[in-house]
Amino acid sequence: MGSDIDLVLLTLHVAHYAETDDWIHEVGGEALLRTATWGPSVERRVRATSGLELELNFAPPYWAAIHPVDAGTRRAAAGGIQVLHDPDGLLLALARAVHS
């Protein structure tokens, strides 16, 4: 409980997640703690009903571009990336580019 979970969600609808809170309960959240913008990514920090903090970063698919890898994206991915769902292979390609 002394840590948080960091997720990057690639979406064409970043504005929806940045401007509304109607989705928070769907991910197990009970309260919005913070919103911040990091380049094209919007961070929404949410407290889950368990008390755990979720750092949800919503970014457009080009956030994972590898030609070239953006410096901010590289820092985020270099700390360790576990791909959960990647139907287009964007995050797998990013992980390979950052760790090669």
Segment (H or E) for 74: helix 71-78
Task: Count how many domains the chain has.
Answer: 2
Q: Quote the domain boundaries for residue 5.
A: 1-59
Q: Give the mean pLDDT of the chain.
A: 92
Separation of alpha carbons 100 and 18, rounded Å: 33
Is 73 in the same domain as 54?
A: no
Output the domain CATH number for residue 7.
Answer: 3.30.720
How large is the average pLDDT for residues 43-49?
A: 94
Report the DSSP beta bridge partners of residue 58: 9, 42
Say whether both 68 and 55 belong to one domain: no
The answer to whether residues 84 and 55 belong to one domain is no
pLDDT of 34 higher than 90: yes
The phi and psi torsions of 7 (rounded to 5 degrees) equal -130, 140
Q: Kindly report the pTM of this predicted structure.
A: 0.88
Relative to beta strand 4-10, strand 53-59 is parallel
What is the model's pLDDT at position 2? 61
51 and 88 both lie in a single domain = no
Say what percent of the chain tops pLDDT 70: 97
Shared domain for 72 and 94, answered yes or no, is yes
